């Protein structure tokens, strides 16, 4: 039996993993898919959320697991994975980045995302709150940005569950080292039709921080919906 911890991306919650959770549990594995603070069903005030608080949230789950875990992160979840691996590398069997931000030490998600000139996640597609503490995606662009290969039913469900994303973690530099974070095996699941983190951007991150293995899926930013069986098979193989 393997213990998987699944970390969702920006605006999403644990709900986005429900099909993957079901398939991993059907194979008799333990699966934990938390809502990060202030997202999903968690209503922690946005102003108190930092990259460090998300990291500590996942660190606690990893430490409580009965064995070293496979830590899976989607999109923005990638920066949480890297920080957790820096804190407790000995408790992680593998890091799986699913079309996720894999950042070099000292870089921020905000700056790396700004370099992806073909991404559809641009200021014009977003709504910032008055205090500039959180950001939402405009409803009319959600399908094209996140769910281009997903069913109508999946898109309707997702649109009803997306929540505003805290901005502070996106502007916080990731701090990692070769000795700790670099000691954990990394796998990258790239999505060639992604309109959030384009394929070119995914390849540039992998070139800067090579992974032990690359798996390629011809799909959009949300393979947990659009390529459920293929993504679950990848995780089960680990």
Provide the percentage of residues in the chain whose pLDDT is more than 70: 100
Q: For residue 131, is pLDDT > 90?
A: no
Query: Per residue in 141-189, pLDDT tens?
Result: 999 999 999 999 999 999 999 999 999 999 999 999 999 999 999 999 9
What is the rounded CA–CA span in Å between residue 12 and residue 207?
27
Set out the domains of the chain in order of their start, with CATH numbers: 3-237 (3.40.50.1820)
CA atoms within 13 A on the CB side of 95: 30
What is the rounded CA–CA span in Å between residue 31 and residue 88?
19
User: Which token pair is 48?
Assistant: 């108190």
Is residue 78 a contact partner of residue 70, using CB atoms and an 8 Å limit? no
Is residue 98 a contact partner of residue 5, using CB atoms and an 8 Å limit? no
User: Which token pair is 237?
Assistant: 């193989």
Sole residue written with tokens 């919906």: 225
Q: For residue 238, is pLDDT > 90?
A: no
Distances (CA, A) of 34 to 129, 146, 176: 25, 20, 23
What is the rounded CA–CA span in Å between residue 39 and residue 24?
23
Distances (CA, A) of 235 to 13, 23, 101, 168, 219: 19, 10, 18, 30, 17
Query: Per residue in 132-153, pLDDT tens?
Result: 899 999 999 999 999 999 999 9
E strand or H helix that includes residue 29: none
pLDDT at 65: 97
What is the rounded CA–CA span in Å between residue 150 and residue 225?
6
What is the rounded CA–CA span in Å between residue 219 and residue 235?
17
Query: Per residue in 60-107, pLDDT tens?
Result: 999 999 999 999 999 999 999 999 999 999 999 999 999 999 999 999
Is residue 8 a contact partner of residue 36, using CB atoms and an 8 Å limit? yes
pLDDT at 154: 96
95: helix, strand or coil: strand
**Could you tell me which of 13, 3, 138, 150 has the C-alpha nearest to residue 63?**
3
């Amino acid at each position: 039996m393997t213990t998987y911890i699944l970390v969702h991306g920006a605006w999403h919650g644990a709900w986005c993993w429900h099909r993957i959770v079901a398939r991993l549990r059907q194979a008799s594995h333990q699966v934990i898919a938390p809502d990060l603070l202030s997202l999903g069903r968690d209503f922690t005030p946005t102003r108190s959320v930092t990259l460090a608080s998300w990291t500590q949230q996942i660190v606690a789950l990893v430490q409580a697991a009965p064995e070293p875990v496979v830590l899976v992160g989607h999109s923005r979840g990638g920066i949480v994975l890297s920080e957790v691996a820096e804190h407790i590398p000995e408790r992680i069997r593998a890091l799986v980045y699913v079309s996720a931000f894999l950042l070099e030490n000292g870089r921020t998600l905000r700056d790396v995302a700004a370099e992806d000139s073909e991404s559809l996640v641009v200021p014009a597609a977003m709504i910032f709150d008055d205090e500039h503490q959180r950001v939402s995606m405009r409803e009319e662009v959600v399908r094209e940005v996140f769910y281009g290969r997903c069913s109508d039913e999946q898109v309707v469900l997702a649109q009803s569950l997306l929540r505003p994303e805290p901005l502070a973690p996106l502007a916080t530099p990731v701090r990692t080292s070769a000795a700790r974070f670099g000691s954990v095996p990394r796998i990258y699941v790239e999505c060639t039709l992604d309109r959030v983190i384009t394929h070119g951007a995914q390849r540039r991150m992998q070139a800067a921080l090579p992974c032990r293995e690359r798996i390629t899926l011809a799909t959009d930013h949300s393979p947990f919906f659009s390529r459920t069986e293929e993504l679950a098979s990848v995780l089960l193989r680990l």
